[in-house]
Amino acid sequence: MNQLDRALRHPGRKALIAYVTVGYPDLDTMLRLVPLLAENGCDVIELGIPFSDPLADGATIQQASHIALQNGMTPDGCFEVAARLSRVVDTPLVFMSYYNPVLRKGIDCFCSIAARSGVSGLIVPDLPVDEGEILEQCSRKHDLDLIYLVAPTTTKLRIRQVAERSRGFLYLVSLTGVTGSRADLDEGLEHFVARVRAETTLPLCVGFGISLPSQASRVARIADGVIVGSRLLQLVGCDRSLVSATAFVRELRSALDSVTV
């Protein structure tokens, strides 16, 4: 059982996964943020590699990526940041990257450096399972979990196919659309999670649109983990002291812990 498996399979505990964009709002703030996330209840931390065309992301993460790129952040810089963070936090780190930076670096080279940097897994939202075989092979070679996404529109056959080839956990997209804070989650979320649960024993973690502790509680009742990104980045952008972001994470942790498993 690797580091990511251990983090997601704690009996009686729902996983809290936080997304941050590497280099946003600036490198020093981001390097202070990640240890605080780990100390205040996050079980996994996604490190978003900033990209110029983040098609799955809403306005908040698009803006964060833009600012990080303006700050000079590069994929190589993300490897260096991951290595620094892995020396100071025990919480598993997962890269979220679009496929272009992986291809430009070279698939095996990217996986090799990511693993040496202390990263436990990869999420590549624009990589369909039909085209993932090479990255799957390279990620396994370097003991990285390749985590696929499943949407509410995904068919039963497709869910089964993705579940068979995903490792670590399945990333369930809570709605059809892009990332971003929302006041309400989709009414069909429970049915969607149940459909996926019937096809796999992998942990199911739900993201896209979760911005309130009450929403996190709802998700925790039906899934194994909650993924939060846009709202966290909004708070970090408004308050670089990180007091607001830390308080938000504590509220989420408390909401998850209040759910009876």
Output the CA–CA distances (angstroms, integers) from residue 119 to 2, 94, 176, 195, 196, in the order listed: 11, 6, 29, 30, 26
Helix extents (H) in 172-228: 189-197, 213-220
Residue 130 among the catalytic residues? no
Is the peptide bond between 213 and the residue preceding it cis, with omega within 30 degrees of 0?
no
**What's the rounded Cα separation, in Å, for the pair 61 and 228?**
12
CA 92 to mean position of chain CA atoms: 11
53, two tokens: 């065309």
Output the CA–CA distances (angstroms, integers) from residue 195 to 156, 158, 160, in the order listed: 8, 12, 10
**What's the rounded Cα separation, in Å, for the pair 205 and 151?**
12
Of 26, 39, 43, 46, catalytic: 46
Nearest to 8 by CA among 149, 204, 162: 204
Of 57, 136, 145, 199, catalytic: 57
Residue 46 among the catalytic residues? yes
CA dihedral sign, ordered 153, 52, 143, 131: positive
**What's the rounded Cα separation, in Å, for the pair 43 and 167?**
17
Q: Which residues pair with 204 in a beta bridge?
A: 170
Q: Is 83 exposed, middle or buried (0-12, 13-18, 19+ CB in 10 A)?
A: middle
Name the residues annotated as catalytic: 46, 57
